[in-house]
Chain A
Amino acid sequence: MAIGPDPRGALVALDRFGLGAKPGDLAAAAADPRGFLLEEMRRPNVGRLESASLVPSNVALQALFADQQEKRMERERNMASEAARVSMAWPGAATAAPGPAPPRGADGKQKPPEASIEQKLFRAEAMARFEKRARAQAGFVERLVAFWSNHFAVSVAKGQFVRVAAGPFEREAIRPHALGRFADMLAAVESHPAMLFYLDNQRSIGPASAAGRFAGKGLNENLAREILELHTLGVGGGYSQTDVNALARIVTGWSFAEAESEIGEPGGFVFKANWHEPGAPVLLGRAYPQKGRDQGAAALADIARHPATATHIATKLARHFVDDTAPKPIVDALTKTFRETDGDLSAVADTLIQSDLAWSEPFSKIRTPDEFLVATARATGVLPNDPGPYLNRLNAMGMPLWQPPGPNGYPDSVDAWASPEAMKLRLDVAWQIAQSLKDIGHPLSLLDTAAGLAASRETREAVSRAESRPQALAILLMSPEFQRR
């Protein structure tokens, strides 16, 4: 129980656990910093993100399929006309190759190319996500969403399919369960078309299944390997290559419906029974005799509650929220709660914010590029109408949205985000933002918004001695108070 206002607690609530202070937040949180976070967690559907501008993944994927179909038809038409046109006479052929003429408007001028369907959907998702993060009360739940989204990373670099599905994936598979049960999140993630496509499970065919015997194709272990290595048990979690292979067999047939699919709704999950490997594979010492999709559901439920999974998740949470070393008392407390509550993520989050150590440790982490941009929007109150600058800045700082370098997600260490080149790029971004913002008031009052009484004398002086308002703002955005969490 807080006795009197707790300014440092307010900073911990908003910086370590949240996404930075909006005007007035520090004062509001100081009365009861833990209560400030708990109140946000208890709001109904706080993690959900729904908006008129967003569509479910199956609708988005159907739009992509239709667009691809149209392009295919156009291509076939062009192919036919090109075949008729191109003379095979050598050597004249190279110069006689006009491509399709770019579209022109009524005035004859070339029109700027219209954004592709996948670009439109992606940008709408990016904008909605950014707004949700910038406006959240403390941003603790949004931080948890981002944590889980990175834990179950997909990458739009895989292609148009993931570019279209990544936003819906986070809204459909992550958000509803960020304060729910881990097992439910795991089940939702591993059956989502975005993950199935990203990790190639739609290409994995049981060798002894009806389709496998006919086509002579086989298993793709990618999804199974990452489930065990990244999503649940973790490296060193006590599984072998035999277990990877068993799980790969168990989830054969977990796929999505293509445009012309005979079963299921295009863009949605389907279980392809004739791709499923028959038998009762043994995974981690236990046989799974269930039939069909139930086999995979049973296996996932078991590995979700495996002790190694609890430790793996607890370690990652402590590393993300508190310190790169993942302090052992916090890991132990989180592991205990995870195991005792059968992976109740709301109870796990509660344990995290009840840990005294999590409130007393120094601010050793640095905000990720995304957290930095969101915290800037929260402090200044300036949200763009267009996601372009936000996405460009994320790219410039090496954290393109939903495009981590691999299935293990973006790095979560100070070394990665406070490396020499990263700090130099961050400075350039801070300067660009500072120049773009107008009418943000006095820089020192912004410093009060973001750091309050905790702002160091040095930072206060550096901000107030700046030669211009943009320079003052850039220094503020780069100050340790604004960068560390």
Chain B
Amino acid sequence: MSFASSSAVSRRRLLALGGVSLALAYFPRAASASTARDPRLVVIVLRGALDGLSAVAPIGDPDYAALRGSLALSPVGDKAALPLDGFFALHPAMPVFARLYKEGRGSVVHAVATSYRERSHFDGQDVLESGHPGPGYTESGWLNRAVFALQSAEPTRHRGLGVGAAAPLLMRGPAASLGWAPQFLPPAGEDLAQRVLDLYTHSDPALAAALRAGLDADKIATSGGLTGDMAKARGGMDQPNGMRQAAMGAARLLATPDGPRVAALAFDGWDTHANENGLLATRLSGLDGALEEFEKGLGEAWKETAIVAITEFGRTARVNGTGGSDHGTASVAFLAGGAVRGARVVADWPGLKSSQLYQGRDLAATQDLRAVAKGLLADQFGLSAQALAEKIFPDSAAVAPSRGLISG
């Protein structure tokens, strides 16, 4: 049997490529480690539409409590919301973010939405991730195109990471990127992996190179192993364990000197049509845990990192008949990381009176999420307004980047 890949790559050369750095040998090594800044950007997509009014509650708004009924957060009691700035309070499931906020390393953008104004998750996520003004574009994501733009200026330094068995649309596109997925299955042991690698080395070098790179990336991402509860319970991407694992692995890869600098993750399960109070607490504690893992795992790189968590749209302002909320419009974006200018909620608050709600039912959008993303890309990586308005977020010249979200 013959295989197309039985090329002239000698076994010796393959062995010489061995070792942990091969995961990253897919990318050219960074030219210099002494550059002044080495920023990181992590984008977490919260799939299903996060309820911004419960994640970061406008408890100072006189209409809030009555409007939200059983979904309203309370400033007192055993599940009291965590105060942020007097007007807004944070969901009690997010103590880590509350601390980051106080330390000036966390901020919130409120009443923010993409340009999409309908109510399909599918199309909403495509708009959120593609960076196009409307649905129908699934070839590439804005984060990948941003990496692509950076690579054309400085090919050796900027690489993307897509987390998940299939990379989020955000990270698909023209720029080659590293992939890594947290473990859902019991992993094949090292001995088996080595035997398969040996076999490939002899008979299929292309598969050998790919498998070795995949194993090496996984080794970095899971180095130190999983501890405590995480080692026992492996969660999906809608469970706190799964979110933590994804963040832990991504953090380790981002912290590697010649590793990726930009990462895309996606957490599921935010579509809280029923029993929202319990579900949302679980999901938000997962997001909070993920932020903690990033802070721990990034080490020194944390100082230059910005993480942003975004969602396709918000939820209805009023509670529905099943203790949940339905598809809405504006929501929140969370920003965290050592590079973030924190301790503030960035909002042009639209109000919650019926006449102020979008179509009489949703929190109205007063900021464009593309402005937030463009601001982060401009401040972290110095991407030009023109590149941002044409290539990265097509047809968005009218949406000015929100500057100043990054400190410095």
Contacts and interface: CB of A to CB of B under 8 A. Distances in A.
Interface of A: 8, 11, 74-80, 82, 86, 88, 90-100, 155, 157-159, 222, 225, 323, 361-364, 366, 395-400, 405-408, 414, 418-425, 427-432, 435, 451, 454-456, 458-459, 462, 466-467, 471, 474-475, 478-481, 483-484
Contact of B70 (A93, A363, A435, A454): A93
B184 to A, nearest CB: 5
Given A363-B4, A396-B185, A406-B138, 9 more contacts: A93-B74, A94-B72, A94-B73, A363-B2, A421-B165, A423-B210, A424-B215, A429-B185, A431-B192
22 contacts: A11-B1, A74-B321, A90-B65, A91-B74, A92-B74, A93-B72, A93-B74, A95-B77, A97-B70, A97-B323, A100-B275, A362-B4, A363-B1, A419-B179, A423-B211, A424-B214, A427-B215, A431-B185, A431-B187, A471-B191, A474-B188, A484-B3
B199 A396 contact: no
Contact of B274 (A99, A435, A459): A99
Interface stretch (B28-36, B201-209, B355-363): B201-209
Contact of A456 (B1, B166, B195, B207): B1
Contact of A420 (B23, B183, B188): B23
B51 interface: no
Contacts of B188: 427-428, 430-431, 474
B15 interface: no
Contacts of A158: 120, 122
Contacts of B172: 405
Contact of A421 (B65, B73, B217): B217
B3 A94 contact: no
Contact of A159 (B122, B179, B181, B198): B122
Contacts of A398: 164-166, 181
Contact of B195 (A421, A424, A471): A471
Interface in B148-205: 164-166, 169, 172, 178-181, 183-189, 191-193, 195-196, 198-200, 202-204
B256 interface: no
B195 A466 contact: yes
Nearest to B178: A420
Given A88-B66, A458-B203, A428 B122 contact: no
B77 A75 contact: no
B19 interface: no
Contact of B196 (A74, A93, A478): A478
Contacts of A94: 70-74, 77, 79, 277
A471 B138 CA distance: 40
B1 to A, nearest CB: 4
Nearest 9 A/B pairs, CB to CB: A406-B138, A79-B321, A424-B214, A97-B70, A364-B4, A420-B214, A431-B188, A398-B165, A421-B179
A18 to B, nearest CB: 16
Given A90-B72, A454-B1, A459-B199, A100 B169 contact: no
Contacts of B5: 364
B115 to A, nearest CB: 17
A157 B122 contact: yes
A97 B79 CA distance: 13
A416 B293 CA distance: 29
Contacts of B71: 94, 97
B320 A79 contact: yes
Contact of B192 (A79, A400, A475): A475
B408 interface: no
B321 A76 contact: yes
B231 interface: no
Contacts of A75: 320-322
Contacts of B200: 480
A420 B26 contact: yes
Contacts of A82: 69-70, 319, 321, 323
Interface in B210-259: 210-215, 217-218
A27 to B, nearest CB: 17
Contacts of B189: 431
Contacts of B185: 396, 425, 428-429, 431-432
Interface in B1-45: 1-6, 23, 26
Contacts of B66: 88, 90
B339 to A, nearest CB: 27
B75 interface: yes
A404 B76 CA distance: 46
Nearest to A461: B199
Nearest to B6: A362
B139 interface: yes
Contacts of A406: 126, 138-139, 169
Contacts of A429: 185
Contact of A483 (B70, B164, B207, B321): B207
Contacts of B274: 99-100
Nearest to A471: B192
A157 B195 CA distance: 38
Nearest to B67: A88
A262 B179 CA distance: 50
B214 A363 contact: no
B204 A480 contact: yes
B122 A459 contact: no
Nearest to B216: A420
Contacts of A366: 207
B76 A91 contact: yes
A418 B207 contact: yes
A91 B75 contact: yes
Nearest to A222: B136
Contact of A423 (B76, B191, B207): B207
Contacts of B206: 414, 418
A236 to B, nearest CB: 14
A8 B2 CA distance: 10
